Amino acid sequence: MQRYLSPLRDVLQSLGKKNPSAIIGFFLYFEPDREIENSEEPYELFFVVVHDHLIEGSREIAEQAAEKITTKLTTKYRVQNIWKGVELVKCDIASDEEFSLYNAMTYKNYPLDYISLRASETADQAK
């Protein structure tokens, strides 16, 4: 699944750096949660941008982030209305008050420090 998320790395880092106090994190859930053996079967991806309800304008920032994520994934993985590799089922926003404990336990958190650590690990391995 990581290989399908790599095109988002730059977008997520940029969004997070621009608005570090407004965006709390990026959360995703994908099905199946194992490697797919059939390359024709796409992962189903559910994405949530969580924002801080106390920061004025954070909802709009999260909406813009969700639009950029949707555009990036659609451009990369949707060809002639057919998803290849990953199907973005939903890209929502939620405040930290709306994002439930159940969501936090179900979705995987991909915070920016994880993304940048993965990027540096990949760069180190390529050397």
Report the distance separating Cα 82 and Cα 96, nearest Å: 33
Q: How confident is the model at residue 125 (pLDDT cuts 50, 70, 90)?
A: very low
> Confidence class of residue 37 from pLDDT cuts 50, 70 and 90?
confident
Domains contained in the chain, CATH given: 2-119 (3.30.300)
Burial 57-72 (b: 16+ CB within 10 A, else e): ebbebbeebbebbeeb
pLDDT at residue 30 in the model: 87
| 44 SS3 class | strand
pLDDT tens-digit readout, 79-109: 999 998 889 999 999 999 999 999 999 998 8
- Of residues 38 and 62, more confidence is placed in 62
pLDDT digits (tens, 9 = 90+) for 46-75: 999 999 999 999 999 999 999 999 999 999
- 119: pLDDT strictly greater than 70: no
Residue 32: is the preceding peptide bond cis (ω within 30°)?
Answer: yes
